[in-house]
Amino acid sequence: MHLLVSGIQHRVTGEVLVPNSKYHAHRALILASLADGESRVHGLSDARHVAYTVRLLRGLGVRITRAGDTFVVRGLGGRYRPGRAGVSAGSSGTTLYFMAGLACLSDREVSITGQRYFSRRPMGPLLRGLEQLGVAVEAAGDRPPVHVRPGRPTGGRVVMPGTLSQWISGLLLLAPFATGPTVIEVSGELNERTYLELTVAMMRRFGLEVAVSSDWRRFAVAPDQRARPTELTLPPDIGSAAFGIAAAALHPSDVLLRGLTRLEGGPADHPEFHFLDVVRGMGVPAEQDEAARGVRIRQDAPLLKAVDVDCREVPDMLPVLAVLGTFAHGESVFRNVAHTRLKESDRASAVLQLNAMGGDLALTGDLLRVNGVEGLTGARLSTYNDHRILMSLAVAASRARGRSALTFPHAYRISYPDFLSTMNAIGIPMTVEEGSARPARGIRRAPVRRARPEAGRPEAMARTTLPQWLARHAASRPGAPAVVDVTEDGPHVITWRELAERVERVAALLLRLGVRPREHVAYQLPNRTEFVVLSLAVLRIGAVCAPVMPFFRERELGFVLRRSAARVLVAMDGHRSRRPAEEALALAARQAPDTGPGPGPLRHLVVLARSGGTARLPRTSAGGVTVHDWRAALAATEVDRAALDAIRPTAGTAAQLLFTSGTTGEPKGVTQTSATLVSAVAMEAGQLGLGDRDSIWVPSPLAHQTGFLYGMVLALVLGAPQILQAEWNAERALASLNDHRATFVQAATPFLSDLVTAVEAGGEVPRHLRIFVATGATVPRALAERADRVLGAKVCGAFGTTETCLGALSAPGDAPARRWGTDGRALDGVRLRVTDDRGHVLPAGIEGNFELSSPTVFDGYLGRPDLTAEAFTPDGWYRTGDLAVIDASGFVRITGRVKDVINRGGEKIPVAEVEQLLFAHPRVADVAIVAMPDDRLGERACAFVVTRDGAPLSFAGLRGYLDAHQVAKQYWPERLEHLPALPRNPAGKVQKFLLRARARELRPHDEDAG
């Protein structure tokens, strides 16, 4: 997702309604919270940063309500009463810096957290200053979370660098409540003095006294002061008005900035008031319009002059001033910019991206030089999730030739929520649209039109069988890559023509081994080219693919062979530390009837070499089973074209037999037809906009439905290359993603988590990846948000089963909270519903049994009509066994398995919600909650947790975290168990039946257990 801005040539006209100052709002709300009585702050600020301050203060027990355009604050007289142990500053650095010290005025210990990028924001000097004032404060690595113990500060002398005014303001706001006098002295350069002037002026409005030296480098504050309630009105926000001014300054214009009622004032009115002096010095024709109560900019031909600016006086205005300097005549010089590199981003470096548009900027030490140019050209730009960088570059792009695409398009909401609508209102088109690929090193590419797989609907596409799709691509694009096999010794690529030729030869071999249409062919292979070739060869002769997971041992393999009655098995001579072919032959040696442990009527074992050469054949012998070397058998096979062509499989015949993973019990054989498989991938391709220009990356096992259908079959129908990786390794995966320009992947949550971790550890960002569909298990929301940001791909939630294929899927264009915060919405042709235990359909928003009706539902469980009947409702809907909520817009959210419900004394615990919350804990890498028996309540919750890098997490710490997030105590886990890893099936689903078995032997911790 990015912000698209088209350069314009026309006049900009209209009104800009200037919002109220967020700087004043922060200070006024905080001081009002400390006063003894009710304060009223008129002129609401809708900036998200202000909302974070309000939320944090409410978490400390302050009552803040809204009446019209007024904040009504009931202060607590200098003593906070937090309802929980943790509060968040969100993404507001001002909130974090101001409240880190003031939290000590609470009656209990408080932890202040913030968004993860705060790890880049320095707090060390502030924390040292607070310690000098007698505040008991701790923060690992001088980064949030900040833990503050209760107790008024003692006061004292503090020497604080003048780098950031927020550090000094944080100390000033706390000092009046100390038990002794405080003296704060500034060392080094004093930046952002105007912000300090605002802080002191606002403190005085609330009756607090501060003595300030004439040079604003020494502050003396008396102890034991009390803030008095007051009433005030927030002035207009110059920081937001700056972007309307800049837009009007760069174009022929007639723009009124309504609410900006004075062009002259003092520092106490607004810390960025000097910006108006600078722009008027550049020749911006700003005039007071008394009748309209605003400032009007009217001009026919923009003509700006270069300026020399000390950025300490306009601390946050560097980005927008650099844009104005780019279109000014001569060289503009911006001095003392070092402190601007400690903001949401390194702003001095970020504005150098104007050079990519044709600008002329140079950064040397503490000096930024900007030479005016004739014009700019549209480009792909990164905003680093910095609201001022986004808005400044967007204004610059409005004067560029062509279109520009900017990342993090919603960052403006942090400080100026009306920015986008305002720009469009005055005639500058800006839209948020989807991009087609992730950025290289922070820069997104423009959208690319992608070919759809075929005109027509999925049901029309489904009439073409998978072998026919192969033949079609082999004829139309014979030399294009079809399969890329990523191995330790490098990639092996085969074309569509080569794939078709290999399929014909393997199909001939299968006929020679006696395989006939509708028979099952079993094969236990990792993700490698031969898996694809063999699958298509089986389908070519009308037989049924029966792949077996590579890690299955004799017990599981024997079950599959008995149920499928497969007469041919293809296996590896070696895989990891095992000898699958030897194991299979040993199993065949114990051959017995269906009720016994043997494999059934196995007659041929074809052995594939791990190395790709001659296979190492098993030493074991089994009566009635002939062992073949893959390569030798193929070399000895003649392709009888007439025999192959005489077999004409139809789209409606069975094509695939997969056994469910067994998260709850015995695996069940699921059959699907070719038509079902093609329909399923066509439905997904249509929802996601996939086409033949995509490249499909397949880390999921091909022997599982995710890899088989949404890797191999999807690529086959699209005519796109599939990139296989047999051995999972995140670092190698990142390399293969970039080397082979992978754009799409559907895989389980652990793959997503490993990729994110690898990139965060310094790995290469996947530059082309557009979409990651997370399946198998609900993707933790915190992980999805991280992945969106770190990988740059769109993480899409989805729901599917082996029996139904995908039933629900979000789309790249959905709002993030729905795209990865839900499990998607119904695909075309699919119906979803939620019912109660009596089968009555429930309204939107109510949790119940999740059921679906789809054209891709399976034909039935192999040999188990009883289980097939149980899987469907009387009116033919498939029972998923999940609990879910469907909202009014049709988005579904899986809330747990029916069998996962924990009934604690009649109270049902929302397991999925508690798991999601615990996953966001900084020390938790993975978590699952299951029931453990209890004599009194029936069941209690037990949390099985995998911690990050073995980080310690106590039972008391876990419960304290839930307490801080206001989770009802009845929902807290009553036992904590640490595991090195959670048991998962190949789809990534946690095998909770194993955890429940373990929990049956456990009992709750004592109430005070740590």
Looking at residue 684, its pLDDT comes to 95
The answer to whether residues 218 and 366 belong to one domain is no
Identify which of 840, 850, 837 has the alpha carbon closest to the alpha carbon of residue 885: 850
The answer to whether residues 398 and 422 belong to one domain is yes
The answer to whether residues 284 and 398 belong to one domain is yes
Q: Please enumerate, by residue number, every residue annotated as part of a binding site for 3-phosphoshikimate.
A: 22, 27, 165-166, 316, 343
Q: 901-920 burial, b for 16+ CB within 10 Å, e for fewer?
A: ebebeeeebbbbebbbbbbe
The answer to whether residues 420 and 394 belong to one domain is yes
Identify which of 998, 970, 778 has the alpha carbon closest to the alpha carbon of residue 884: 778
C-alpha to C-alpha distances, 101 to 14, 224, 560, 1004, nearest whole angstrom = 44, 16, 64, 38
Looking at residue 338, its pLDDT comes to 84
Following DSSP, what letter does each residue of 690-736 receive, concatenated? --TT--EEE-S-TTSHHHIIIIIIHHHHHT--EEEESS--HHHHHHH
Dig out the tokens for 76 from the structure. Answer: 């607590």
pLDDT digits (tens, 9 = 90+) for 960-971: 999 888 777 888
- Residue 609 domain-assigned (yes or no): no
Looking at residue 443, its pLDDT comes to 29
- Residue 559 domain-assigned (yes or no): no
- Residue 752 domain-assigned (yes or no): no
**Percentages of the chain per state (helix, strand, coil), in multiples of 5:** 35, 25, 40
The boundaries of the domain holding residue 992 are: 901-999
The answer to whether residues 905 and 976 belong to one domain is yes
In the chain, the N- to C-terminal Cα span, in Å, equals: 45
Looking at residue 843, its pLDDT comes to 94
Residue 949 zone, left/alpha/beta (φ > 0; ψ -120 to 50; rest): left
Question: In whole angstroms, what is the distance from residue 827 CA to residue 856 CA?
Answer: 11
Contact in structure between 666 and 763 (CB atoms under 8 Å): no
Contact in structure between 850 and 834 (CB atoms under 8 Å): yes
The answer to whether residues 229 and 264 belong to one domain is no
Looking at residue 266, its pLDDT comes to 45
Looking at residue 267, its pLDDT comes to 43
Question: In whole angstroms, what is the distance from residue 378 CA to residue 401 CA?
Answer: 6
Contact in structure between 434 and 792 (CB atoms under 8 Å): no
Looking up residue 33, the CATH number of its domain turns out to be 3.65.10.10
Looking up residue 987, the CATH number of its domain turns out to be 3.30.300.30
Question: In whole angstroms, what is the distance from residue 700 CA to residue 691 CA?
Answer: 20
- Residue 975 domain-assigned (yes or no): yes
The answer to whether residues 224 and 99 belong to one domain is yes
**Residue stretches of the chain with pLDDT short of 50:** 265-268, 435-456, 592-598, 662-664, 1008-1010
Question: In whole angstroms, what is the distance from residue 710 CA to residue 704 CA?
Answer: 10
Looking at residue 377, its pLDDT comes to 92
Following DSSP, what letter does each residue of 735-778 receive, concatenated? HHHHHTT--EEEEEHHHHHHHHHHHHTTPPP-SS--EEEEESSP
Give the three-class secondary structure for 221.
Answer: strand
Q: Is 882 a catalytic residue?
A: no
Looking at residue 461, its pLDDT comes to 87
- Residue 629 domain-assigned (yes or no): no
CB atoms within 10 A of CB 434: 14
68: Cβ–Cβ under 8 A, 6 or more apart, which residues? none
Give the three-class secondary structure for 324.
Answer: helix
Element (H, E) at 789: helix 781-791
The CA dihedral of 309, 312, 314, 315, to the nearest 10 degrees, is: 130
Question: In whole angstroms, what is the distance from residue 632 CA to residue 549 CA?
Answer: 25
Domain boundary among 233, 265, 288: 233
- Residue 765 domain-assigned (yes or no): no
Number of domains present in the structure of the chain: 3
The answer to whether residues 269 and 404 belong to one domain is yes
Looking at residue 191, its pLDDT comes to 82
The answer to whether residues 159 and 265 belong to one domain is no
Domain boundary among 217, 233, 249: 233
743: Cβ–Cβ under 8 A, 6 or more apart, which residues? 437, 693, 694, 695, 696, 768, 769, 770, 771
- Residue 962 domain-assigned (yes or no): yes
The answer to whether residues 171 and 306 belong to one domain is no
Give the three-class secondary structure for 272.
Answer: coil
Pairing relation of β-strands 211-212 and 218-221? antiparallel
Domain boundary among 433, 448, 479: 433
Q: Please enumerate, by residue number, every residue annotated as part of a binding site for phosphoenolpyruvate.
A: 22, 93, 121, 166, 347, 388
Q: Which of 237, 269, 316, 926 is catalytic?
A: 316
The answer to whether residues 31 and 149 belong to one domain is yes
Contact in structure between 275 and 238 (CB atoms under 8 Å): yes
pLDDT digits (tens, 9 = 90+) for 462-500: 889 999 999 999 998 899 999 999 887 778 999 999 999
Question: In whole angstroms, what is the distance from residue 392 CA to residue 551 CA?
Answer: 54
Tokens 């880190």 identify what position? 100
65: Cβ–Cβ under 8 A, 6 or more apart, which residues? 71, 72
Looking at residue 1008, its pLDDT comes to 41
The answer to whether residues 76 and 198 belong to one domain is yes
- Residue 911 domain-assigned (yes or no): yes
Q: Please enumerate, by residue number, every residue annotated as part of a binding site.
A: 22, 27, 93, 121, 165-166, 316, 343, 347, 388
